[in-house]
Amino acid sequence: MMKHHIFLSYSRKDTDFMLRLKTSFSEANLSVWTDEGIDPGTANWKRAIQGAILDSGCLICVLSPDSATSRWVQEELDFAELQEVPIFLVLVRGNEKEAVPFGFTTHQWAYLRSEINYETRIPKLIEIIQRRMRSISAEAAPNDPLATVQIPVDFPPPPDLSAILPPPFAWCYVPQGMVQIEGGGYVPDGGRSYAVGSFYIAKYPVTNSQYARFMSDGAYNRQAFWTQAGWRWRTQQGWREPAHWNDPRFNHNDHPVVGISWYEAIAFVRWLNLRLHHQIKRENEPAFTGSLRLPTEHQWQLAAQGEDGREFPWGDDWDHERCNTGREGTTLVSEYDGKNNSPYGAVDLAGNVWDWCLTQYKTGRNDITTAGEPRIWRGGSWSDDIS
């Protein structure tokens, strides 16, 4: 049972507005969790925050210049996004430039800076939240305590990356559904079913030419693209490029990039998000309301398998003509397009190159900050000898 409908994230300097917002939600019979009475930054605070976010149906962040610079607000937003908890932003002071935390400037928000804004827009926000709660209740499997771990979300259309990445690139839409994960790691023996919200996934693996764009932006010299643990790893290892970058078996432009660590994969996605935001700003386009990241294991499995429990992306029967396995190197990412597409159109989710997932193997957490934890990779590669 979900304990709270709403998690409220705010700066202590916006406490008065937070209390007003809390009252409005309570009057609409929406339960609200806040960290009132807990000292921020303590171990108890962190445990309480993470537990409350996981138990919530959505997070609402009160935006102001103070919240934009608050370490605690940033941590709450990051954790909610990684756990796929829907985020609603309400702007109460300042403007987009000074009031939106780093990494969230491409989200949409509601303006509540004036009394007129508040009185006209709060009822609509409450209606949206109530509708989401009803949707979650309808989708949740009865007696399944994990049914609300992944909350169905209707995402807006994904961004156009053609000005950032060379072709081939396309998005595949994956509607919300249930997926079966086999036992192992964080999953109990015998497996478990999970609800997964709708999302978009790249149709093809990232190619060498696409990764080269990342490298040409100073990828291995700019700490801003890396997590703290990833930057420490990169400097200790002294890496300046992926392993096998100059190996002729793997370095063709439209072949998948290989020999990259999970840290490098995360850095690539962080770079892509930053480039996307800058592109939107330059072209004055409507802001993309999501964020790009590695897929969670649940998302990858749904994208590859669909809901019918098939053994391979194309069906139940193995066919070595449908994917690149047992060979001497990689192939074009589009070579098997039309042969090994998943139910939603994604290519090479079996063979050619392993796919990194966001998820920790031992805990199942979708967290980019924890160092040294084994991560899940899925799909198989060119070197797997399957018969």
pLDDT at 144: 36
Quick check: 278 and 258 in contact, CB under 8 A? no
Q: Which of 112-116, 121-125, 241-245 has the least mean pLDDT? A: 112-116
Is residue 180 one of the residues assigned to a domain? no
Is residue 185 one of the residues assigned to a domain? no
Is residue 48 one of the residues assigned to a domain? yes
Percentage of the chain surpassing pLDDT 90?
Answer: 35
pLDDT tens string 71-113: 888 888 888 877 778 888 888 887 666 666 655 544 455 656 5
Whether residue 203 sits in one domain with residue 103? no
pLDDT at 262: 95
Whether pLDDT at 154 is above 50: no
Is residue 153 one of the residues assigned to a domain? no
Quick check: 28 and 80 in contact, CB under 8 A? no
CATH code of 82's domain: 3.40.50.10140
Whether pLDDT at 69 is above 80: yes
Give Cα 77 to chain centroid, integer Å. Answer: 12
Indicate the number of domains in the chain.
2
pLDDT tens string 314-328: 999 999 899 999 888
Whether residue 129 sits in one domain with residue 205? no
Q: Is 270 helix (H, G, I), strand (E, B) or coil?
A: helix
Q: Which residues lie below 8 Å from residue 128, measured CB to CB, with a gap of 6+?
A: 88
pTM: 0.64
Q: Which residues lie below 8 Å from residue 127, measured CB to CB, with a gap of 6+?
A: none
pLDDT at 109: 54
Whether pLDDT at 152 is above 70: no
Cα–Cα distance measured from residue 260 to residue 5, given in angstroms and rounded to the nearest whole number: 40
Whether residue 65 sits in one domain with residue 198? no
pLDDT tens string 132-142: 776 655 544 33
pLDDT at 97: 62
Whether residue 209 sits in one domain with residue 135? no
Whether pLDDT at 295 is above 80: yes
Quick check: 164 and 276 in contact, CB under 8 A? yes
Is residue 167 one of the residues assigned to a domain? no
C-alpha distances out from residue 62 to 35, 80, 300, Å: 14, 14, 32
pLDDT tens string 175-234: 888 888 887 776 666 678 888 878 899 999 999 999 999 999 999 999 888 888 899 999
Provide the residue range defining the domain that includes 124.
Answer: 6-139
Q: Please give the residue that has the higher pLDDT: either 387 or 335.
A: 335
Is residue 163 one of the residues assigned to a domain? no
Using the 3D structure, point to which of 122, 139, 156 is the last residue of a domain.
139
Whether residue 103 sits in one domain with residue 213? no
Quick check: 333 and 207 in contact, CB under 8 A? yes
- According to DSSP, residue 207 is labeled B
Whether pLDDT at 330 is above 90: yes
Encoding tokens for residue 302? Answer: 């749904």
C-alpha distances out from residue 213 to 210, 216, 244, 272, 317, Å: 5, 5, 17, 10, 38
As a whole number, the mean pLDDT across the chain is: 81
Is residue 363 one of the residues assigned to a domain? yes
- Bridge partners (DSSP) of residue 356 are 377
Which H or E run contains 378? strand 375-378
Give Cα 338 to chain centroid, integer Å. Answer: 27
Cα–Cα distance measured from residue 265 to residue 376, given in angstroms and rounded to the nearest whole number: 13
Mean pLDDT computed over 370-382: 87
Whether residue 49 sits in one domain with residue 111? yes
pLDDT at 327: 84
Selection from 20-29, 322-331, 365-374 with the highest mean pLDDT: 322-331
Whether residue 324 sits in one domain with residue 222? yes
Whether residue 114 sits in one domain with residue 48? yes
Using the 3D structure, point to which of 139, 155, 174 is the last residue of a domain.
139
Is residue 182 one of the residues assigned to a domain? no
pLDDT tens string 163-178: 999 999 999 999 888 8
pLDDT at 89: 83
